[in-house]
Structure 1
């Protein structure tokens, strides 16, 4: 059965750049290891605002950020010295571990001239044994990711295992993450074999058990139930889930199984102990002066 419907809420990443925030939600903090999900765009970026929408260098601990674009492109720079332009269909998988800082800038002349940008970013919490590991970064080209097609169906497996396919993206816990495009009237099922599963409707609308659901909603399904999804109109979906890792604390851009580790990360950022990207170190986002938010509360932080 359908366990919960999570509606998006509006959040502002930088002045003028609004996104749809999906996770965490008051009644459901995580789906499998996925602890954060933002949908940015589609937005036509005015030329005069291009550089103002950049996400300046900021820190992370205890998670992997997963960036996936539908249109436009973004330049990623991080503490490891990595500089990578991510394009639609590719995957940027950055694992923060004990600490990393990165920026995301809209430097493509086509985007800054008013081109369209649309992206999904999720955070994947790390198993406790990996929370203090070394930070790392990987980019996977679209052609490295498995694609399946059928009548009225196109699907790309971004990460994990689903529908008998396995992605080459390296993960640290059992999960799945899938981009699906359905034509009107197409039937589709959600991946079986995972404890926690969700379907986010990016565009279009679906029917599940005779009930219609529209874009901007995340449908969360009970374990063991394999519903039939029908596209009432052409639809774009992001399916995600996996195995639960246990309780996690989240504040700003920090995730940890230990509350005291969040406090340490706050002080590390204040004292400059998390290194800025060497090729983007002239500005950064200061630590918010918020009090610690409880585990169930939404983070005040950034898209990534």
Structure 2
């Protein structure tokens, strides 16, 4: 049963517009997912300016999960990672005690093309918020996949539908990519207490309600949720076990306001190492910084 429908809100990240879904004022998290941005689809011509890139910036207390439908992003971070992510692949970056990274559109700037994907943040559970930073890249041939009667499914991260992904998650969660042909039907089982579905493209019917591109439905626990595609559709399923209340400010997530204040001070004072191969720019802390917002 649908508990809430959230419409994406357009946000300008300084040259690149995204559709922000989470956090939402009446639903800050779904399971451990604290942040959900839909990037594009946006077409770029060759030679577009560098201000569209995401310059080096910091994180603590979370893992970022980048997943593309189209385009390419070059990831560089402060633990030495430097590689592109392409459609159907996963970048999983665990900030833990602190990491910095950049996201450059080098291939798109050279060749032009479409950028389309999702970036999500996953809060780390109690006892794991200060783990050592880490990064892993997972090509599409590592993902569990399923195909039947107009449905193509890929398990991006976590466990669902009897399968397990290779992404090294820290708490029980699921993240699934569905491609649905017109008329295809599929069910989301009641495996986790918190579940949601985001329609990236197309239109689906769920529990007698039509959801269109740019909408996330958050479901009540306890029932299998049946989907039917009214046209060719891309749907992302997400959720898991809650990790408890979290605060979020700028790029920092933590169960402690004081820890966020320390991270802000470290970034202001340039105590956080920049990416090894991208240390000539950085993203200033927004000033005056707003107070950390509680999430649960």
Report the TM-score, using the length of structure 2 for normalisation: 0.97
SS for the counterpart of 2:127 is helix
The aligned residue for residue 161 of structure 1 is 159
SS for the counterpart of 2:242 is coil
SS for the counterpart of 1:274 is coil
Distance of 1:51 and 1:64 partners within structure 2 = 26
- Written as runs of structure 1 = structure 2, the 5 A alignment for 1:1-304 is 1-15=1-15, 17-108=16-107, 110-296=108-294
SS for the counterpart of 1:265 is helix
Task: Assess, with a 3 A threshold, how the Cα gap between structure 1 residues 290 and 46 changes in structure 2: closer, same or farther.
Answer: farther
Is the Cα–Cα contact under 8 Å of residues 81 and 278 in structure 1 kept in the other structure? Answer: yes
Q: How far does residue 293 in structure 1 lie from its aligned partner after superposition?
A: 3.3
Distance of 1:165 and 1:141 partners within structure 2 = 17
Q: How far does residue 212 in structure 1 lie from its aligned partner after superposition?
A: 1.2
Is the Cα–Cα contact under 8 Å of residues 48 and 109 in structure 2 kept in the other structure? Answer: no
SS for the counterpart of 1:263 is helix
The count of residues paired between Structure 1 and Structure 2 equals 295
SS for the counterpart of 1:128 is coil
Distance of 1:103 and 1:227 partners within structure 2 = 38
Q: How far does residue 111 in structure 1 lie from its aligned partner after superposition?
A: 5.0
Q: CA deviation digits over 1:154-197, x for unaligned, max 9? A: 00000111111111111000000000000111111114310100
Is the Cα–Cα contact under 8 Å of residues 14 and 53 in structure 1 kept in the other structure? Answer: yes
Is the Cα–Cα contact under 8 Å of residues 56 and 283 in structure 2 kept in the other structure? Answer: yes
The answer to which of 242-251 and 191-200 deviates more is 191-200
Distance of 2:52 and 2:291 partners within structure 1 = 26
Is the Cα–Cα contact under 8 Å of residues 189 and 223 in structure 2 kept in the other structure? Answer: no
Distance of 1:30 and 1:36 partners within structure 2 = 7
SS for the counterpart of 1:10 is strand
Gaps of 5+ in 1: 298-304
Gaps of 5+ in 2: none
Distance of 1:217 and 1:26 partners within structure 2 = 15
Distance of 1:74 and 1:258 partners within structure 2 = 32
SS for the counterpart of 1:14 is coil
SS for the counterpart of 1:49 is coil
Q: How far does residue 50 in structure 1 lie from its aligned partner after superposition?
A: 4.5
SS for the counterpart of 2:259 is helix
Q: CA deviation digits over 1:18-59, x for unaligned, max 9? A: 100010000000000000000111111133424221100000
Task: Assess, with a 3 A threshold, how the Cα gap between structure 1 residues 155 and 199 changes in structure 2: closer, same or farther.
Answer: same
Is the Cα–Cα contact under 8 Å of residues 50 and 106 in structure 1 kept in the other structure? Answer: no
Q: CA deviation digits over 1:208-238, x for unaligned, max 9? A: 2222111100000001021211111111001
Q: How far does residue 14 in structure 1 lie from its aligned partner after superposition?
A: 1.9
Q: How far does residue 272 in structure 1 lie from its aligned partner after superposition?
A: 1.4
